[in-house]
Amino acid sequence: MQTHFERELGQLKDKLLTMSSHATSSVANAVKALVDRNDDLARDVIAADNVLDNIEKEIDEMAIHLLSKAPLASDLRLITVAMKCSHHLERVADEATTIARRSIELSQEPQLKPYVDIPRMATMALDMMNEGLGAFVNRSPDRARAVIPRDKEVDALNKQLHRELASYMIEKPTTITRCLNLMVISKSLERIADHATNIAEEVVYLFEAKDIRHTGKGQGTVAIDASSQPPAS
């Protein structure tokens, strides 16, 4: 039979998963707003940021309450990891808001070119987030470790897109504003992948009691040949 503490711990985990669902939806909707040139959807994303802020505060309050009662080291790790992950999710929601704001600006001008790699980057970053949280739910540090090297692929696409947009700005100065907005969106997606990586590292710490941040441990080698990638957009 569950103790009161165990029930509260379960509520903390559920709250974190709720926050994750909101954060991933915000990112997906922000990118959809960009691709569909849907300003109303973009404004919905911006308005939803307050929801994530409030959930982060709730998680912090629950965690602080539980810290005073945690009987085991594993419980302490879970509580602190939940707080750290909620912070990363709140930052993910902030990046979604940035994407939404830039998409509204971009919708006021002719589209520079069809969007291909921005939706691709979003899919990759969101898959990383889902895998990291899935590893948390399924108590799978190996699954979390597999997320970490995938960050290099998103980094490579971000750099490729920045190079292409820089060339656009040089060749066609009238595209500068649009290119800069797309650069900001690309960087936001790269940061979302970074937060997904950080969440995965926290999951490894939770279940293995090993802090692999800044060590390179768990990171495989992902070979990226930018020259072989399709044109970014």
- CATH number of the domain to which 83 belongs: 1.20.58.220
Length of the chain counted residue by residue: 233
15 found inside a domain = yes
| pTM of the predicted model as reported, rounded to 2 decimal places | 0.89
Q: Counting Cβ atoms within 10 Å, is residue 41 exposed (0-12), middle (13-18) or buried (19+)?
A: middle
What total number of domains does the chain contain?
1
161 found inside a domain = yes
8 A C-beta contact, residue 144 and residue 85:
no
Q: How far apart are CA 98 and CA 144, in angstroms?
A: 27
What would the pLDDT profile of 24-53 be if each residue is shown by its tens digit?
999 999 999 999 999 999 999 999 999 999
Per-residue confidence of the chain (233 residues) as pLDDT tens digits?
A: 568 888 999 999 999 999 999 999 999 999 999 999 999 999 999 999 999 999 999 999 999 999 888 778 888 889 999 999 999 999 999 999 999 999 999 999 999 888 999 999 999 999 999 999 999 989 999 999 999 999 999 999 999 999 999 999 999 999 999 999 999 999 999 999 999 999 999 999 999 988 777 666 555 433 333 333 433 44
* String of DSSP letters for the chain: ---HHHHHHHHHHHHHHHHHHHHHHHHHHHHHHHHHT-HHHHHHHHHHHHHHHHHHHHHHHHHHHHHTT--SHHHHHHHHHHHHHHHHHHHHHHHHHHHHHHHHHHTTS--SS---HHHHHHHHHHHHHHHHHHHHHTT-HHHHHHHGGGHHHHHHHHHHHHHHHHHHHHH-GGGHHHHHHHHHHHHHHHHHHHHHHHHHHHHHHHHH----TTT-TT-------GGGSPPP-
153 found inside a domain = yes
233 found inside a domain = no
83 found inside a domain = yes
Structure tokens, 217: 């441990």
Give the position of tokens 């300003």: 39
What would the pLDDT profile of 150-166 be if each residue is shown by its tens digit?
999 999 999 999 999 99
Q: How far apart are CA 106 and CA 192, in angstroms?
A: 21
63 found inside a domain = yes
8 A C-beta contact, residue 150 and residue 125:
no
216 found inside a domain = yes
183 found inside a domain = yes
Domain that holds residue 9: 4-228
Q: Counting Cβ atoms within 10 Å, is residue 174 exposed (0-12), middle (13-18) or buried (19+)?
A: exposed
